Amino acid sequence: MAVRNRTTLLGFGGGLLLLGLLLSILGVDQTLDALGRANPSILVVLPLVFCVWLTAWGLLLRVVIGAVDGGIRVRTAVLVYAGALFANNVTPFGQAGGEPVSAFLVAEAADAEYETGLAAIASADAIHFVPSLSFATVGLGWVAVTAALTEQLRAAAVVVGVIAVIIVAGIGIGLRYQTHLERAIVRLLWPIGRTICRLIPQRTVPSRSAIEKRVTGFFSAVSRVGSDRERLLLALGWSALGWLALATCLWLSLLSLGTAVAFTIPLLVVPLGSIASVTPLPGGIGGIESVLAALLVSLGVAPPVAGAAVIIHRTVTYLLPTLLGGGVAWLLGVRSTTEPS
């Protein structure tokens, strides 16, 4: 636990240093001056946009849970997704680092097995790739038609293409060799599980058959999500609405600073910025802001305005869900420790 906390603190320290470097490049005084000129009548709308985003992705999670388990209420799904966002925002490597905690929160809320919760949150994360890459492609196409692609945007186009190929290839390999993949995961997890349980007092070492059962349950739950076309399309719709809300947040952030841009620009910039969440920084702090600002500047936005817009955008999309989700995660954690086993 101490090592994990130290890693998280180091990650936040690195993220803050990166943010300081970004502001120094954009101009600290100029960025703060731009922030001071933000239009309050537009800023007050941003929490509403945040609610649309959180609700849409909470409903996506509800749809996925309904495919693998009995389902949960709308309010619970939204709050649990807030807790999942908190886990992603305070652990290194973003969603990859936060998924184990998010799976616990989902399992607690749905009163389900842990592997069911992990399958639900992993499926939700995978579904997000389809609308995000689609919107990024639309944005790149618009920029290519209306303006010359900069070096940064050419690199972004390559990144989008590579990610798309990796996702399609990964799904194909997983479906074709699912049995072999399950066996490989069991061979990997069994010695790790035995070692961890021997180091923790009063923990029973899991049998190989128990691990096999959980791994099989995970893949079975994921398969149920993919095979239910009606639910899958509904989940994609909620995911797309959430991405549109995120893009709207950045668009309004720029508009509050007196800079009106085509909506296709946030549609391109926001999904590409989210890729930086895979960095070993909690929630991608520092990395996401740098990518967003760099892309906005490459598309013609003045550096101080780009920095100020990113600060406003990330306050709404990083700070708010972290504060709300932290409370949800604490409440679910307290409930799990107080309920009789």
Report the chain (341 residues): mean pLDDT per 10 consecutive residues: 59 82 91 94 96 95 82 87 87 70 81 78 85 88 75 70 71 68 64 54 56 61 70 91 97 96 92 81 86 90 95 94 83 54 43
| Triad 296, 298, 302: Cα angle to 5° | 60
| DSSP one-letter code for 283 | G
Q: What is the predicted pLDDT for the residue at 194? A: 55
Rounded Cα distance, 253 and 311, in Å? 9
Q: What is the predicted pLDDT for the residue at 195? A: 58
Q: What is the predicted pLDDT for the residue at 337? A: 47
Rounded Cα distance, 204 and 9, in Å? 32
Q: Residue type for 155, please?
A: A
Q: What is the predicted pLDDT for the residue at 341? A: 43
Q: What is the predicted pLDDT for the residue at 1? A: 47
| Triad 275, 9, 57: Cα angle to 5° | 40
Helix (H) or strand (E) holding 207: none
Rounded Cα distance, 16 and 30, in Å? 19
Q: What is the predicted pLDDT for the residue at 29? A: 93
Nearest to 232 by CA among 123, 129, 132, 133: 123
Q: What is the predicted pLDDT for the residue at 339? A: 54
Rounded Cα distance, 325 and 327, in Å? 5
